[in-house]
Amino acid sequence: MESTEKNTKRFPLMALRGITVFPRMSMSFDVERKASVAAVEAASNEGRRIFLVTQRDVLVEEPDDRDLYKMGTICVLKQFIRTPDGVRVMVEGLCRARLEETFRFGDLVYAEVTELPETAQEARGARAQGLLRNAVSLFEEYLEIAGNPSPETLISLTMRNEPGYTADYIAQNAALKYTEKQQVLETVDRTKRLRAVCALLAREVEVLGIEKELNEKVYGSMIRDQKNNVLREQMRVIQSELGEDDVSETDEYRAKIRALKLQPEIEDKLLKETDRLAKQPFGSAEGAVLRGYLDTCLELPWNKTTKERNDIAEARRILDRDHYGLDKVKERVIEFLAVRQLAPDVKGGILCLVGPPGVGKTSIAYSIARATNRKMARMSLGGVHDEAEIRGHRKTYIGAMPGRIIAAVKQAGSMNPVILLDEIDKLADDYHGSPASALLEALDPEQNTTFRDHYLEMPFDLSRVLFITTANNPDTIPPALLDRMEVIDVPSYTDEEKLQIARRHLLPKQRKKHGLDGRMLRVSDNVIREIIAGWTRESGVRQLERELAALCRKTAAVVAEKTADSVTVKAGELEKWLGVRRYKPETMTGRDEVGLVHGLAWTAVGGELLNVEAIAVDGSGKLELTGNLGDVMKESARTAVSYIRSRCDVLGVDKDFYKTKDIHLHFPEGAVPKDGPSAGITITVAVVSALTGAPVRSDVAMTGEIMLNGRIIPIGGLKEKTMAALRYGMKTVVIPAENASDLAEIDQTVRAALDFVLVSSADEVFDLVMDLPEKQQAEPEKKREKRRAAAKSAAPAPMRQ
């Protein structure tokens, strides 16, 4: 120890981590750091005086001046004992001191400090006495809550009657943070120091009181649970002695719930409902509701999954075996399996198969389930109008049950099934809510991990479910719901595809169903073609299957009556087996007629030929429209008339026809509603033919929406429309030039049989389908041939397997 000229003293310095030593207080602690051990050894050789100061951050291993507080304590080294890990020391504080400067000699650090001695001074005055008593009272309350009251300590504090000593003693022995103790150490004024200690102690008493209250509640709950367990065990022993050692119902539920190893939230919910059941009297209505709820929840496949098949070759074989054609759908399934093979944790998808009735949308879903080795569950949404059908009812209602989605998962028995939502476009809304809106959460991969059914009242993971929906018309599906699904078009079948489906699938299926084999009933391809042409008119194959079933029934009757051992159906003799031919072959008259134009229309069951008839008679300029037309088609007729009025000079039409002629447009089959803009060019050609008397070619069909300037804009449903043109014997089809890219989707059979002409204006159509004697600026034949060549050179359609 040395004295300097500035009335300071120099002592070995030891930095403390998380510890504060107060004057006139003793403390023991372990010393391990090299610098601290060096300070202890130096102090033992230099008057046993050492300066202890707390470092600001306990994580700093080698602190410098910036890491140390400026206020510390000069202590006397009472005792130190060497241990294998360092030194165990006991110190006693002498007085406060302010750190002025440090000096480092290797590991040893000396501190130059200014002493701040404090003499004993009793509390004087009523205010000081009140503050002192308040501090002692708070410390007594603190010790009682902490569980270690010491009457001797409280008596000594009261007898000494020193504010400074009392503040330091309380700060040393209370469980305060080292930063708070440092604040007390740095407060030199006795009264301020005692007031600060009182504030800290009051806060600590409040915190300890809350902690004690919580501990008592937890301990009380544990005591109650232990008591209940002891009582239950005693009941089991008594029941065992009486021969009634059956396990109680609630214990069975608890064992089943714990065996499922569910998420904590779900397990706690089910155990809570089990506890409620245990409190219900036998035979109560509430008990029956709880039993039904628990049974339903325990029957769900919480942790059950099927091992998915990611073998792409096997999946392709299954899809090809079950369905002919449908290459786009099959390719999408193969892509799905390929992604699953590379990323097994990918979430389930939502596919929407859109197409006319009877094309195999539902059976495709079953094939997908077989190809992926998933369980299958189907739920029909046609006519569903209650939101509770989707999300279930609250279990408080009588007869409540889960919604259809949870019921489908339960039926499938696994967490990764294929769920088919059939006829999703047939959902209805009423005052019960919107089922389509209820499906938004279930069909969103980002939300359905925590799908909540109203009956279950807890999250259920639907992310591993592969949802497949079917629809005939996507226009009736709400946009928000349609946006969550990947739409895959399932197109109509061509006659050749129907032949292959009948030969490979339908006929063998019906033979087996009616107990026949290939020897008992022989049907050639020509017979099947004749059935397709004369007894069916559909986009799918349902009616074709019915007609084949009728053939099988007739054959079964012949064989059962032993009239013959086998039946061979020949072409041209079908009427004696299937009755009168339903659809006569479409024959063209062979002559071009005035005012009769063949249009093309899309329907829900495929394409149809739409004839448009027009006549012009003397009158006052009225436009008559008949044939059960919609508003859009009526607007197309008015647009056509306005366009013709603007082109009278070019078309050779009387300029005053809108005043002197009445035009009547008729669309046959008036019982069938018709609407849409794609008949615009058909109507225009019919009206021009009627006004000019020029006949229209009978082997040409056309489609396209017309604008006021005569431009023809693209339309939809081209594939179905071209199939109808082929079926009705057309030779040439006129389509908008902007639909050229859609030619790649048309079947090769249709493309080879029809001559496609791409047009962009009405004038090009007039040149093609009729001869206007007074028409100016006629298009050269070379230009016409160029358009036909452009249609034929469009990208070829994919080959069907």
Q: Which of 123, 149, 119 is nearest to 137 (CA)?
A: 149
- What does the alpha-carbon distance between residue 47 and residue 614 come to, in Å, rounded to a whole number? 127
Residue 505 per-residue DSSP state: I
Length of the chain: 801
DSSP string, 371-439: HHT--EEEEE-TT---THHHH---TTSTT----HHHHHHHHHTSSS-EEEEETGGG---BTTB-HHHHH
Which amino acid appears at position 123 of this protein?
Answer: A
Q: How many CB atoms lie within 10 A of CB 84?
A: 4
Q: Are 67 and 53 in contact (CB under 8 A)?
A: no
Q: Which residue has the tokens 């070995």?
A: 12
Q: Residue 69: what are its φ and ψ, rounded to 5°?
A: -70, 155
Tokens linked to 380: 């029909």
- What does the alpha-carbon distance between residue 169 and residue 3 come to, in Å, rounded to a whole number? 30
Q: Which residue has the tokens 């369980």?
A: 375
- Does an H or E element contain 756, and which? strand 755-759
Is-catalytic flag, 698? no
Is-catalytic flag, 678? yes
Tokens linked to 360: 């195999």
Q: Which of 9, 498, 721, 775 is catalytic?
A: 721
Long-range contacts of 134-143 (CB under 8 A, 24+ apart): 134/198, 135/166, 135/167, 135/170, 135/194, 135/197, 135/198, 135/201, 136/166, 138/198, 138/201, 138/202, 138/205, 139/170, 139/174, 139/201, 141/205, 142/174, 142/201, 142/204, 142/205, 142/208
Beta bridge partners of 568: 522
Q: Are 323 and 364 in contact (CB under 8 A)?
A: yes
- What does the alpha-carbon distance between residue 408 and residue 442 come to, in Å, rounded to a whole number? 13
Q: Are 388 and 433 in contact (CB under 8 A)?
A: yes
Which amino acid appears at position 199 of this protein?
Answer: A
Q: Which of 413, 322, 422 is nearest to 375 (CA)?
A: 413
Q: Which residue has the tokens 């001797």?
A: 152
- What does the alpha-carbon distance between residue 8 and residue 3 come to, in Å, rounded to a whole number? 6
Buried b (16+ CB within 10 A) or exposed e, 527-548: bbbbbbbbbbebbbbebbbebb
Tokens linked to 309: 């098949």
Q: Which of 434, 636, 678, 698 is catalytic?
A: 678
Q: In a 3-state reduction of DSSP, which class is residue 332?
A: helix
The residues annotated with a catalytic role in the active site are: 678, 721
